[in-house]
Structure 1
């Protein structure tokens, strides 16, 4: 599976003005202002990188010049100057994860990039990689735990750790680590993918449950959790496609594509249930009509489709059912961004079972709005 040469015109990366339908700068401001937890900083940094320095992001035309992570002046990269103050350089992990294994790793790509010119930050990224791979508990199938004290799998982990591990693998020319990263995505799928075949919602097969573990157990089909998983695997797929050493790994690329497609297919096929008709937004829990439609999961999942339309156009590209569906979701998001740049109603990011719509701004939800804008801009250029 080869990456199509869509990006030959470098003008794409002079921030082509594409009207997504809302003021992205205001959404960015809210994401920066509201973020206060480890994974929120990491997600905001990724969103800023994709929006303001797309040539440096994993979705850029050549993220690994000469097969290596680029040397950059972090002071001139919006994402890196934003996140650098939050990175710990004297700790086992990059930031306090409050018991989470994966969340500190969400800052890992930034640490590796800064570390190309400041070894202190690369050393910090190396310790983070070691902690995730060699210290964190493992589940029965060898999947790395999201929690440090007991094996638990959270769909969120797939956005936090695997993209970092894949990027670190490129930085260290470690093909074994990249293969392990892809394997971890599959091991998470093995446990978290819901068995819908014996239910009345067989058409939603492919969707993931949120949390499986002895202490925390939330088997609901959380829209944001499915977004975390699909978006994380999309970043790993892009890494595998664009690193010259792994560009020929067709079987692995096909597996990642399949796993992402399963999630999107399950949500699409279940649209009669998963989409709340009055808002056009995906429900917080995709198979439960009692739940309101909300912006966070909707924005992240639709951003995945635009990214996949570029990475795997023969399946997800222009004219496909996926783009038609994503366009409907994007337009629903546009209708739910207020004059201050707040996406709402969102789910309470710290309480996924709170049935009161969150209207003051979800930090991660704001970053998802930025990720959607960047993905739509890049796809729109190709349309």
Structure 2
């Protein structure tokens, strides 16, 4: 496994790649996404945090390479990007085991797969990472426990489904389907999304429950962050499917994905606020408002307003705008968004104020989704002069 190296040893990366990683257009979202990125990089220490951070950095610095770009699959293929010159890939590579069965040693099934898209992209030029991505997919599809309906478990020790896994395993499998030119894998990925929803969503709620399975971690509450994980994971699968030419015939599957995303958002739109933020559990007024779920669900709204303005009209943008402005009020001068839910104990009643790596990443997702909505002329707030190059001093440092 690639050993973790201290942050200061990566300072030279910024200097060598600054012209490549800081040229994305910039809009004024009301908060500093680049300071948020620095906090995220400094604090991330778990497999899912590394994978989530890598995705956030790709959207922030190289949006044309993400599935939200205008042409993310040139000639129907995953793009070739230099891992040494692409900020997100250089960040992710240090954590990926190129020789293991899974991408990071972990007792979760889904969390290591959060680095899967990065492994696929690095594998375009370094075959060991292509093989590592293939082994990770084989583990998910053929080795990991399955729930009674065939849904891939999020845990290795029991068959247990978590909403979190929607953002970990399935964007990776969809992306790998493109890389391997495998429509059957794309269909399998869609079917897994359906199987996960069949268990985690119940008819009397629009939103998803957090954890269903036999262990003590079972959590039937409508965790805000969990619904964000599910919604954003579905959004990434949707965009991957839509933008790959070989998925052109999957019109029914695309419609279903949009419907499932809309359910999650509609449930969030019905939920109350505390200090301008969605509560940690959407159906429980006893919880405090927190930034993580609010930011990620709002990012979902912006993404879908661009993707399908008829299905996700102005009211979704207005809701996301209100949330974004509240999020901006909750960023401190040190770049930390607070309060967040404790990312390691979602039942903790104490507000988490020291910086949640995933909440920082979600704020970046909110920024990039809003930026792309403005640049698509769907959101009405004008962009600053475009493209604006962020100075090296303002860019996140590894």
Normalised by the length of structure 1, the TM-score is: 0.91
The Cα of 1:316 is off from its aligned counterpart by: 1.7
In the alignment, structure 1 residue 326 sits paired with structure 2 residue 320: yes
Determine the structure 2 residue equivalent to 1:102. 110
Q: Which residue of 2 aligns with 1:232?
A: 233
Equivalences for residues 142-153 of structure 1 within 5 A: 142-153=150-161
Pairwise CA RMSD of aligned residues? 1.0
Distance in 1 of aligned mates of 2:336 and 2:26: 21
Alpha-carbon offset, residue 267 of structure 1:
1.5
Residue 162 of structure 1 is matched in structure 2 by 170
Secondary structure of the residue that 1:257 maps to in structure 2? helix
What is the CA–CA distance in structure 2 between the aligned matches of 1:40 and 1:87, rounded to whole Å?
A: 13
- Residue number in structure 2 paired with 1:358: 352
Residues in 2 aligned to 1:26 and 1:327: alpha-carbon distance in whole angstroms: 21
Alpha-carbon separation, structure 2, partners of 1:183 and 1:343: 36
Question: For 1:342, which of 336, 348, 365 is the aligned residue?
Answer: 336
| Partner residue, 2:375 | 381
What SS does structure 2 have at the residue aligned with 1:326?
A: helix
Shift of residue 149, structure 1, vs aligned partner: 1.4
Within 1, Cα distance between the matches of 2:208 and 2:32?
32
Deviation at 1:248, TM superposition (A): 3.3
**Any idea what the Cα deviations from partners look like across 1:128-168, whole Å, max 9, x if unmatched?**
00000010011111100000111000000000000000000
Distance 1:76 1:161 in 2: 26
**Equivalent residue for 2:247?**
246
Contact 2:59 2:368 in 1 (8 A): yes
Report the Cα distance in structure 2 between the residues aligned to 1:344 and 1:382, rounded to whole angstroms: 30
1:247 to partner: Cα distance: 2.7
SS in 2 for 1:73: coil
Distance in structure 2 (CA, Å) of the matches to 1:132 and 1:115: 19
How many angstroms apart in 1 are the aligned matches of 2:242 and 2:61?
A: 22
Return the offset for 1:72: 1.1
- 160-169 or 307-316: which moved more? 307-316
SS of the counterpart of 1:287?
A: coil
Q: Does 1:113 align with 2:121?
A: yes
Q: Determine helix, strand or coil for the equivalent of 1:55.
A: helix
- Counting matched residue pairs gives 355
Structure 1 residue 116, shift from structure 2 partner: 0.3
Instruction: Show structure 1 runs of 5+ residues with no match.
Output: 1-12, 197-204
Which residue is equivalent to 2:97? 88
**Cα distance per residue 1:242-300 (max 9 Å; x no partner):** 001103321000000000000111121x23xx322xx1100000111110000000000
- Paired position in structure 1 for 2:206: 206
* 1:310 Cα offset (Å): 1.5
Q: How far off its partner does 1:195 sit?
A: 3.7
CA–CA separation in structure 2 for the residues paired with 1:336 and 1:287: 22
With a CA cutoff of 8 Å and minimum separation of 6, indicate the structure with the bigger relative contact order.
2
1:176 equivalent to 2:174? Answer no
Of the candidates 62, 67, 76, which is equivalent to residue 58 of structure 1? 67
Q: 2:365 matched to 1:371?
A: yes
Partners of 2:27 and 2:371 within 8 A in 1: yes
Partner of 2:295: 299
- Which of 272, 275, 285 pairs up with 2:273? 275
Compute the TM-score of the two structures, normalised by the length of structure 2.
0.88
Unmatched 5+ stretches in structure 2: 1-21, 378-398
The alignment partner of 2:26 has SS state of coil
| Alpha-carbon distance in structure 2 between the residues aligned to 1:240 and 1:275 | 34
> Runs (4+) of structure 1 moved beyond 2 Å?
none
1:147 alignment partner, SS class: coil
State the Cα distance separating 1:14 from its structure 2 match: 4.6
Q: In structure 2, what is the Cα distance between the partners aligned to 1:208 and 1:295?
A: 19
Structure 2 counterparts to residues 130-141 of structure 1, below 5 A? 130-141=138-149
